[in-house]
Chain A
Amino acid sequence: MSEEFVDAFRDAALAKRLAEELRSLQLERPLTIMHVCGTHEHAIARAGIRSFLPEGLRLVAGPGCPVCVCPARDIDLAVSAARREGFIVATFGDMFRVPATVSSLEEERASGRDVRVIYSPLDAVRLAREHPDREVVFVAVGFETTAGPIAASLLNEPPPNLTVIPSLRLIPPALRFLLDAGIGPVEGFLLPGHVSTVLGREGYSFLESEDGAHGVIAGFEPIDILNAVIELVGMALRAEAPRVVNQYTRVVSEQGNRKARELISSVFVETDSEWRGIGAIPRSGLVPGPGFAHLDAAGRHRLEPEVPPVDVRPGCLCHEVILGKTEPETCPLFGTACTPRRPHGPCMVSSEGTCMARYQYRPMKRKP
């Protein structure tokens, strides 16, 4: 896009200045900051931002990939649906190749089942309208950003042959979980730019407490991220009381998008939710609420996983990667037995996955 205000955030000279500033910071003690957004990880890996981190600063990737934290059970249910006569399963692209317990939606399609990759929940609605004689099951996965569009698409009398496998999760409970579990320990969060359009800065006010952490809401250009990281370091080193700052004011407001939140709560209710490889996080998921329970695919069609779901395959470390406990590059399977073409786990498959981002932007070996 060639709009001035978008391009301006790609100003190379300013980015260079910020990178130099970051690299020159003096930390008198180690510091861990974390982001929770796959798109942030991509931007960080692509711009090589970790090469500018001063000594002692760790910028880790947290559970910011909705497909990576989707329990195998949800995908197993989608596989079961795909195997039903006449069913169409609609899925977002990055879910298509994720290995679940015995199969993946990609494998199902290769076996002749009807699995369609869609870009928008509107495509699932359209599929149902175009095929009134078939059951359409939509794998509704995402965080707050995607919950809005999904809620809006289900509100206006969706076709009767459309149901969903809900796999929506919420970021603030995950942040609370990470802090309570002492992962890191994380002192500051780079907060996800587009989830924040829904929540607003005030959606993170729970972080501004003694047992909280600093937060900076940031966009996705290198300038946004460098600026946010420098600010987080400053806040931590000055030992300020935890504070959340909005540095993505061009799209994120103080109150967020109230209309989106209203639409979401008119269709969904909060529930305790399992995160793949992490376990249960209280009130961290969304399921269809009263009046929309008939949209639940598993309930309507009595879907069951064919075998007990297995979240973590032997040898896969995705569940540690998404908590920032393990760096992809240290996984024995990284780049060898596990690549985007033959992924062992979701972190290498999803466009939001940490391992995928690191693999994509890995240093190239030069031929002698």
Chain B
Amino acid sequence: MCLGIPMKVVEINGPEAVAEAGGIRKNVRLDLLDGVVLGDFVLIHTGYAIEKMDPEEALETLDLIKKVYRAGMTGEVEE
């Protein structure tokens, strides 16, 4: 049950929130996180937001992977 679904917070009412993804809205709990604001992306697991997702960090990671592997087309791993 590692299942964690990325969703966007669209409503907040104290410890409860409404999160949305792919047109689906779910009631979720924010007890496990501090400082969640509207528009944040969170990972939902069994009805709770367990962590925030950082879109910029995601894209940076991907850029880095692309850089590493577009280089070294000979098959050597470059750092």
Contacts and interface: CB of A to CB of B under 8 A. Distances in A.
Name A's interface SS: helix
A259 B3 contact: no
Given A223-B65, A250-B58, A251-B52, A195 B2 contact: yes
B75 A148 contact: no
A154 to B, nearest CB: 11
Contact of B47 (A11, A20, A37, A121): A121
Contact of A249 (B29, B33, B57, B66): B57
A259 B5 CA distance: 20
Contacts, number: 143
B59 A8 contact: yes
Interface residues of A, number: 60
Given A2-B22, A193-B2, A121 B46 contact: yes
A80 to B, nearest CB: 24
Contacts of A142: 1
Nearest to A13: B66
A148 B48 contact: yes
Given A3-B6, A119-B46, A352 B66 contact: no
Interface in A138-197: 142-143, 145-146, 148-149, 152, 155, 192-195, 197
Nearest to B77: A234
B77 A25 contact: yes
A47 interface: no
B46 A149 contact: yes
A259 B34 contact: yes
A37 B41 contact: no
A14 B46 contact: no
Contacts of B22: 1-2
A226 to B, nearest CB: 9
A227 B33 CA distance: 29
A53 B69 CA distance: 17
A92 B32 contact: no
Contacts of A259: 32-34
A9 interface: yes
A234 B31 CA distance: 39
A107 B51 CA distance: 36
B65 A194 contact: no
Interface string B23-60: 00000010111100000010101111011111101110
Interface of B: 1-8, 21-22, 29, 31-34, 41, 43, 45-48, 50-55, 57-59, 61-62, 65-66, 69-70, 72, 75, 77, 79
14 contacts: A1-B22, A4-B59, A11-B62, A14-B69, A39-B3, A149-B47, A155-B31, A194-B43, A194-B45, A195-B2, A230-B77, A234-B79, A257-B50, A263-B32
